[in-house]
Amino acid sequence: MKPFLTVYLKECVDNFRDRRTIISSFSLALMGPLLFVGLMTFMLQKTLGERDDAIHFAVVGGGNAPTLMQRLAAANANAEPITLADDADPRTLVTSGNHDLVLLIPDDYATRQSRGERVTLTLVYDSSELGSASRRARILEGQIEAYSRIIGLLRLQLRGIDPGLVQPISVQRLDVASNAEKALMVLSMVPYFILLVAFMGGFYLAIDTTAGEREHGSLEPLLSQPISRAALVLGKIAATCTFAGASLLLLLAGFYVGLPLVPLERIGLSLGFTAGNCLLIFLVMLPMIWLAAALLTVVASMARTYKEAQTYLSFLVLVPTLPIMFTQLMSLEPTPWMMLLPSLSQSFLISDFMTDDAVAIRDVALSIGSTGLLAALLTRLAISIYQRERILG
């Protein structure tokens, strides 16, 4: 058997038996899709649900204001008629725990209305309660106020006065970041997450095969074997790539299964997370996996101990996020030179594949070529580190 293959297989078997490596390699890939799907579904359901949800409340004296009650019912606010003893304190309806939101309509509602006078309605609720009473009270109040405004305007018009006089300033809300868009923001994190998994998948392998091997004292006898240092390092990097690649496949499979469950179509968005596009994402990520494995191996080889390597690499896994954060902050559009930058080019390409946009072959070639070149240089560097005597520490 070729020395390269021998080293590769040994590192794979050895690390596959290490629980810590397995957890660190695959937990992120398993949790990622769950997290994304859960978070986005929650956000979308919150936005889309708020308008549709019926609110419930209890009403005392609903019969006094039939028109108001009809309007509220039309706005999906369902009243449950209840009665209150003449001399009872209305607060007890809520403090007794029987109801959490009660609307009180006085008996003279109709007569005061017909005389054109002001009527005061009361909403009883407990704002310190954890439930949705406060939110429903706010919605109910808003609906009653809207009705009140209409009546007010009609009264002014009847008396020949411009309704605008009583409302010199009006405010209109225009919230650009709707929850739907927040869900989209979460979705834009997917490429970043894919890149992170490419690094995390090989994290412990890169340490165990380098700094770990030296710390356990098994490096020196290994270097005394009649195999080239190149074969040795390539076997180790290949094993790191394998774990990162397996982790990424797991992640993509999770997204493939999970993302269609998010009700994205309700905000008019369709994703291209087809099996074919998943495969394309994996393909453009292959040189990135190699780059990550080589980079982690180089840095871990220079660390003196396992712990030291762990510290360096914890910072290192953040490196691929920097260009992505930068472009997101600057809202830059992809240009050819950006396709030369590892991690940035992959994040653009993944976004395009995800939304099923057209992708230029040139961009894919630039990304794969530049990332592959850098990965090859780093691999060369890793080999030369192992050719130094100082590798023994």
Partner 1 sequence: MIRVQGLGKRFGTVVAINDVTFDAADRRVTALLGPNGAGKSTTLRILAGVLSADEGAATVNGHDVRIEPDLVRANIGVMPHNSGIYPRLTARENIRYYGRLQGLHGEALERRIESLLEQLDMVPFADRRTKGFSQGQRVKVALARALVHNPAHVILDEPTNGLDVMATRALREIILRLREAGCCVLFSSHIMQEVANLCDDVVIIAGGTVRYSGTVDQLREAAGTQDLETAFVQIAGLEEGEQ
The residues binding partner 1 (CB under 8 A) are 1, 3, 6-7, 10, 13-15, 17-18, 216-218, 220-227, 389, 392
One-character DSSP codes across 81-129:
EE---TTS-THHHHHTTS-SEEEE--TTHHHHHHTT-----EEEE-TTS
CA 386 – CA 210 distance, rounded (Å): 10
| Terminal C-alpha separation, the chain | 30
CB of 393 to partner 1, least distance (A): 12
Q: Name which of 15 and 367 has its Cβ closer to partner 1.
A: 15
CB of 390 to partner 1, least distance (A): 9
Q: Name which of 114 and 224 has its Cβ closer to partner 1.
A: 224
Q: Name which of 12 and 251 has its Cβ closer to partner 1.
A: 12
Do residues 82 and 104 make contact, with C-beta atoms less than 8 angstroms apart? no
One-character DSSP codes across 262-279:
S-GGGGT------HHHHH
CB of 299 to partner 1, least distance (A): 22
Q: Which two tokens stand for residue 138?
A: 């706010």
CA 46 – CA 205 distance, rounded (Å): 41
CA 48 – CA 38 distance, rounded (Å): 15
Q: How many CB atoms within 10 Å of residue 324?
A: 19
CB of 127 to partner 1, least distance (A): 59
Do residues 65 and 105 make contact, with C-beta atoms less than 8 angstroms apart? yes
Q: Name which of 70 and 218 has its Cβ closer to partner 1.
A: 218
CA dihedral 234, 240, 241, 243 (to 10 degrees): 150
Q: Name which of 15 and 240 has its Cβ closer to partner 1.
A: 15
Q: Name which of 160 and 217 has its Cβ closer to partner 1.
A: 217
CA 250 – CA 34 distance, rounded (Å): 12
CA 60 – CA 24 distance, rounded (Å): 60
CB of 240 to partner 1, least distance (A): 16
CB of 203 to partner 1, least distance (A): 17
CB of 214 to partner 1, least distance (A): 9
Residue 389 CA to chain centroid, in angstroms?
47
Ramachandran category for residue 210: left, alpha or beta (phi over 0 → left; psi -120 to 50 → alpha): alpha
Q: Name which of 11 and 363 has its Cβ closer to partner 1.
A: 11
**Strand partners for 104:** 60, 122
Q: Name which of 7 and 259 has its Cβ closer to partner 1.
A: 7
Q: Name which of 8 and 255 has its Cβ closer to partner 1.
A: 8
CB of 392 to partner 1, least distance (A): 6
CB of 385 to partner 1, least distance (A): 14
